[in-house]
Structure 1
Amino acid sequence: MRRRRGLILVVVLVMIALLSLLAASYSFMVRSYTDEVNSQQASFYARMAAESGIQHAIVVLRAYRNDPTVWYDNPAVFRAVPVTPTPRQAVQSNEAVNNSYDPNAPPVWRFNLVAPNPYEPATVRYGVTDETSRLDLNLAKEEQLRRLFEYAIPQETTSPVDVNVLVDSLLDWREKGAVPRPNGAKDEYYAKLEPGYRVKGARFSTIEELLLVRGFNGWVLYGEDYNQNGLLDPNEDDGANSFPPDNGDGVLYPGVAPYLTIWSYEANLSRDGRPRINLNMKDTQKLQEALEAEIPPHLTSYIMAVRTGGKAFNSVMNLIPAPEPDELPEEEAAQPEDPATTQPQGDPASSQPGEENPASQPSESTDQGRSEKQAAGAPPVFKDLTPEPPPGTYEDLPLILDRLTTDATPAMAGRINVSTAPLPVLASIVELTDEEVQAIFAARQQLDAEQLSTPAFLVTTGLVSPYKFRRILPKITSSSAVFTVDAVGYGDHTGVTQRIKAVLEMRGPVAQVRYYRNLSSLGTAYLPHVVEQRALTGRGGR
C-alpha cells in the first residue's frame, strides 16, 4: 500500500512538472506572439509616419517648388515632424529631439526627410533632392558620362575601373544596332553570360538596370555605401572585416548611382508657375501686350522691332549683345575662322530647346542648328540679330531667363541644375574647368534664393565668362519638376524605423509617384532620434 502511495506521489509530481512546462511554453509562445504583433504594429506605424513624410513633401513642393531655400535643407520643416497627437509631456519642438529613443516616452510618431549633404559629408541635410541636380542617364552624351565617371570613381585601387568600358557599354545598351563601340558590348557579349540575355536597345527604366550592363557591378553603382545613406558607417570603413567591401581609408565612395537619374525634366514655366512669354509667337499684337505688362520698355521695343522686321529669335540671349569668344587653346585658335559663321539658327545659347515635342513628353536639350565650324568641334561664334547691339544687360538676365522663351515646348529634359548639383554632376558640364566647377560649388552657399532662382548668377557673379555662359546655357537650369524624397518614420518610444524612397513628379499642384521603394531592408541607415553626425567624412568627388 505504501509503495502505491509513493508511486502516485511520483506520478503527481511528474504531471505537475509537465503541466508547468506546458504552461511556461504556452506563456513563452503568447509572449513571443505578442512581441511579434507589437513589432509589426510598430513597423506599420513607422511606415505610415514615413508615408506622411512623403505627403508633407508634396504639400511643401506645391507652394515652394521654385524656392530651394525651403526644400533643400530645412530642419525646421523636415526634421522630427510629429504625425500623431503629441501629449503634453512629449517633446514639442523638433529641435529638442536630440536623444536616443526612450521606452518610457509617450508614443509619438514622427518623420524625417533626409538626403546626403554635399557641403558637409559627415552630416545629412533635412530636405528633398531635385532630379535635375543629377545627370540624366538616357540623355547624357558620351563626354558627359566620361567626365562624371572620371570625377566620381576612385582609380587609386588595386582594381581600377575602365571608364571607357563603362561609357561605351552604357551607350551600346540604350542604342539600337548590332555593332558595338570599341569598348562596348552588344548581343554577342551578353549571350555568352550565364544566364544569357540581349541588349535592351532602348532607354533605361531604372538606375538599377545598369547592373545588367557590361562593366557595372554593385561596387561601381553603390560603392561602399551599402545602405545608400551618403554617410560612412562603421561597417563601410573596416576593410574586409564585414560587408560591404571597402578599403578602410576613412573616405566614403558612394558609387555613381547618387549622381544619375532617368526623371530629369522641368516645366517651361516661370518661378510663379505662369507660362513664359514666347518671343516667337505668331500673334505679334498679343506678344506686345504681354511684354508691355511686365518687361522693361527698352527690351520690349527691341523685341517688337526684330519681330516686325520679319526675323525670329533663336535664343533669349539675343536680347544681350553677343560676347566675344574667350581666348582659345592653341589648337583651337589655329583653326581658320569661317567667314560665313553668324548667329546659328537655333542658337545653342537658347534658354529653351528649339525642337517641338508632344505636350506629354519633355523635350531634350539639344545643341541644334550649329554651324559647320561648330560641328567640326570648334567653339561657336555668336553674332547679334541686328546691326545695332541689343539693349539688354546682364542685370536684365534673371528676368529674361525667368519670363521669356523662344519655344512653346511645355517641358525640357536633361538639363543640369547648377544651383543644387553636386561636384561630379557639375563636372559633367564639359565646358567647365575643374577650377570653375569648384568655384561654382563653393559660391552657391553664399547666395540667396533670388540669386539661385536662375542660372544668371554664374555670369553676374563672375563665376564664368559671358561667352562660356552662353555656350553652356542650353545644358543648365535652376528648376525642376521631379524630386526624390527619402522619408524615415520612427517613434519617440521605440527603435523601430521604416524608410521609404519615392520620386515625385509635380505637375502643377498634382504629384505623381514615378518611383516607390521601401529601403528598410537595407538596415538602419539613419539615427532619426539624434542630429545625424558621423565622425568620418564622405567623398564629394575628385
Structure 2
Amino acid sequence: MLIVIAIATMAVYSFTDLMLAYDDSAYLSGDIVQTRVNVESGAEAVRLLLAEPPELRVDYGGVYNNPQMFQAVNVSLGDDNSTPSSFSILAPGLNDEGRLAGLRFGLQNESARLNINALPILENSSAGMMASVLTATDDAEESSEDATSDNIAVSLLLTLPGMTEDIADAILDWLDEDEEVRPFGAEAEYYSTLPTPYVPKNGPVLSVEELLLVRGVTPTLLFGADANRNGVLDGDEQQRFGATVETAGSLGWAAYLTVHGAEASKRRDGGFRVDVNQDDLELLYEELSEALENDDYATFIAAYRIAGQSNSTMALLSGNAGGGEQAEVEGRWTADLMGEFDLSGGGGTSCTQILDLVGATVTVGNGDNARAYSSPFSEDLISMGIYMPILMDTLTTQEVEVMPGRINLNECPAELLYGIPLLPEEAVEGILETRDVNSDDPNRQFETWPLVEGLVTLDEMRLLTPLVTCGGDVFRAQIVGYFEQSGVSSRAEVIVDATTVNPKIVLWRDLSHLGRGFDLSVLGSRSLTGLEGDDSGGNGLGN
C-alpha cells in the first residue's frame, strides 16, 4: 500500500512540475509575442512619422538622432503594471571623421548609402560629365588623360573598403543589360562554368544580398565582422574576427549599399515642386508667381524659357543653353521687362538643372535692338545664400514624382564622398568638417550648401548636382522590442518608403534569431517618471 501511495505521490509531483513548465512556457510565448508586437508598433510609429512632411518632422525633434522619440518607447506595462515592455529604434552613427562608428537613436536615410541599381545610369553619364570637366578646365590637355579614364560608377565602388577592380567590373557586368565582358568583369560565359551554373541578372537587383552571386563577392566582404547585423562591431565580434572598429571594412559593404534609395519631388512642406520645363508657359508663370512670391524671379524664369542663355557648361553640351549671339548686358532683370514677351507661344530653351538659371541672361528684342539682362540669381555667395534655398525647395526640371536616390552629403559615410571623382578632396574635407544634420540653416537642407559656403565652385556644383542631395525619402530602421526586466526580445530591420502620401514598408527582415543585438543599458528603460538616466520624460509615441 505504501508503495502505491509513493508512486501516486511521485506522479502528482511530476504532473505538477509538468504543469508549471507548461505555465512558464505559456508566459514565455506570451512575452515573445509581446516583443513582436512592440517591433510592429515601432514600425507603425515610423511609418506614421514619415507621413508628415520634413518640416513638421523637425518640430518633433527630427529623425536622425532623437532619443526622446526613438529610445525605450513604452508599449505595455503588463497585467500587473510592473513588467514594462518597449521598443527602441537604432541606426549606425558617424565619428568625427565621417566614418561609420557608434550608434544613435533614429532612422538611417537610404540616400546615405550608394544605390547599386543606379550605377549603370551613373556609368552611362560619366562620359558627358567628364566632357563637361574638360570643357570647364583651363588646363584641359593636362587633365584629359585622367578625366577621360574616370568612370563614376567604378570610382564609387572602389572607395568601398577591400573592393578591387576585378570585383567592381564583375558587379557592373552583373547589373548592365549587355553581355559584353568588361576588362576585369564576368558575364554568362564565366557563370555557366560553375559547378552549379546560373546566368547574371543583367538588370536591377532586388537586394544587396544578391551580390553574393557575383564573382569574387564573399560573405566576409559583404557583411564584414558584423555577425549579428546590428550595425556595430561588438566585443565578441572583434575577438572572433580579429577586427576593431578602426579596421577598414569591418562592417562590410552592406553598410554602404542599398537598392531602395529614392527621393520624392516635393517641397519640404510636402507640396509638389514647380516644373520649370513644362510646355505651357502661361501656367508656368502662374505657378512660379504663387510659389516664389517674387515677381523678378517668376518673370525671369518664364522669360528664360523663351530667350534665355545659360553659362553652364553642361547646358552648352546638352544644347539647352539657349541660342543666338549674346547681346551686350544692359542691366539686371526686373519684372517690368516681362511685357516684351508673349507666353502663349511656348519656349525654346530648357533647363538641364536649376543652377542653369544662376548667372544666366535673357535677351529682349531682336537684331540691333537686342538687349541682354542678367539673372536676378547672381553668382555672388551672399545673394546665393538668400535665393538658393528658395529655388532648390520650390523648383524642379523633371516631370517626375520620384527620382532614384542620390548620395546624401550630410549623412553618408566619408568613403562615399571620397569616391565621387568630380568632388575635389579639399572640398570633401571641408564638407566632412562642417556638415551638421541638425543645422537650422535653410541652405543646409539642400545639396547646394557647399556652393553657398564656398567649398566648391559653381561649375563644380553643376556637375555634382545629379549625384548628390541633402534629401531622400526612404528610411531604414532597426527596431528592437524587449522587456525591460528580462532577456526576452525581438528584432527586425525595416525599410519604409515615404515617397508616397501613405508611406509603405518595402522590406521587413526578422533578425530575432541573431539575438537582441544591444545591451539593455543601451536600449534604455522608461518608467512613468521618464527614461532611466534622462530627466526629459516620455514622448508618448506608441503608448
* TM-score relative to the length of structure 1: 0.73
Superposition pairs of residues 488-527 of structure 1, within 5 angstroms: 488-527=480-519
Identity %: 27
Range that drifts further, 426-435 or 480-489: 426-435
Superposition pairs of residues 280-295 of structure 1, within 5 angstroms: 280-295=277-292
- Specify the alignment match of 1:57 in structure 2: 46
**3-state SS, counterpart of residue 71 of structure 1:** coil
Q: 1:197 Cα shift? A: 1.7
- Specify the alignment match of 1:538 in structure 2: none
The aligned amino acid for 1:411 is: V
- Specify the alignment match of 1:32 in structure 2: 21
The aligned amino acid for 2:374 is: P
* CA RMSD after TM alignment: 3.1
- Specify the alignment match of 1:258 in structure 2: 255
The aligned amino acid for 1:83 is: V
The aligned amino acid for 1:34 is: D
Q: Flag the 1:301–1:64 CA change in 2: closer, same or farther, 3 A.
A: closer
Q: Indicate whether 1:139 and 2:118 are aligned.
A: yes
The aligned amino acid for 1:114 is: L
CA distance in 1, matches of 2:161, 2:95: 19
Aligned partner (choices 258, 267, 275) of residue 270 of structure 1: 267
Q: 1:48 Cα shift? A: 0.5
Q: Indicate whether 1:84 and 2:76 are aligned.
A: yes
CA distance in 2, matches of 1:173, 1:514: 23
Contact 1:51 / 1:500 at 8 angstroms: preserved in 2? no
Aligned partner (choices 459, 463, 466) of residue 467 of structure 1: 459
CA distance in 2, matches of 1:522, 1:531: 16
Q: 1:263 Cα shift? A: 1.3
Greater helix proportion: 2
Aligned partner (choices 117, 120, 126) of residue 93 of structure 2: 117
- Specify the alignment match of 1:401 in structure 2: 392
CA distance in 2, matches of 1:414, 1:284: 29
CA distance in 2, matches of 1:175, 1:475: 19
CA distance in 1, matches of 2:407, 2:86: 33
CA distance in 1, matches of 2:396, 2:84: 49
Contact 1:172 / 1:201 at 8 angstroms: preserved in 2? yes
CA distance in 1, matches of 2:398, 2:244: 51
- Specify the alignment match of 1:188 in structure 2: 189
CA distance in 2, matches of 1:299, 1:44: 58
Q: Flag the 1:262–1:198 CA change in 2: closer, same or farther, 3 A.
A: same
Q: Indicate whether 1:297 and 2:295 are aligned.
A: yes
Q: 1:443 Cα shift? A: 1.2
CA distance in 2, matches of 1:494, 1:215: 43
- Specify the alignment match of 1:202 in structure 2: 203
Contact 1:483 / 1:504 at 8 angstroms: preserved in 2? yes
The aligned amino acid for 1:178 is: E
Q: Indicate whether 1:389 and 2:389 are aligned.
A: no
Q: Flag the 1:219–1:145 CA change in 2: closer, same or farther, 3 A.
A: farther
Q: 1:502 Cα shift? A: 1.4
Cα deviation digits, residues 490-525 of structure 1 (max 9, x gap) = 122322111111111124430222111111112231
Q: Flag the 1:492–1:414 CA change in 2: closer, same or farther, 3 A.
A: closer
Superposition pairs of residues 7-26 of structure 1, within 5 angstroms: 12-13=2-3, 15=4, 18-26=7-15
- Specify the alignment match of 1:213 in structure 2: 214
- The answer for unaligned runs of 5 or more in structure 1 is 1-7, 91-105, 155-160, 326-340, 348-367, 371-379, 533-542
Cα deviation digits, residues 425-449 of structure 1 (max 9, x gap) = 3233221133322321231227326
Aligned partner (choices 421, 429, 432) of residue 430 of structure 1: 421
Contact 1:343 / 1:384 at 8 angstroms: preserved in 2? no
Q: Flag the 1:113–1:212 CA change in 2: closer, same or farther, 3 A.
A: same
CA distance in 1, matches of 2:522, 2:465: 41
- Specify the alignment match of 1:43 in structure 2: 32
Contact 1:64 / 1:71 at 8 angstroms: preserved in 2? no
Superposition pairs of residues 303-322 of structure 1, within 5 angstroms: 303-309=301-307
Which structure 1 residue ranges, 4+ long, deviate > 6 Å from structure 2?
none
Q: 1:20 Cα shift? A: 4.9
**3-state SS, counterpart of residue 30 of structure 2:** helix
**3-state SS, counterpart of residue 478 of structure 2:** strand
Q: Flag the 1:60–1:528 CA change in 2: closer, same or farther, 3 A.
A: farther
Contact 1:152 / 1:424 at 8 angstroms: preserved in 2? yes
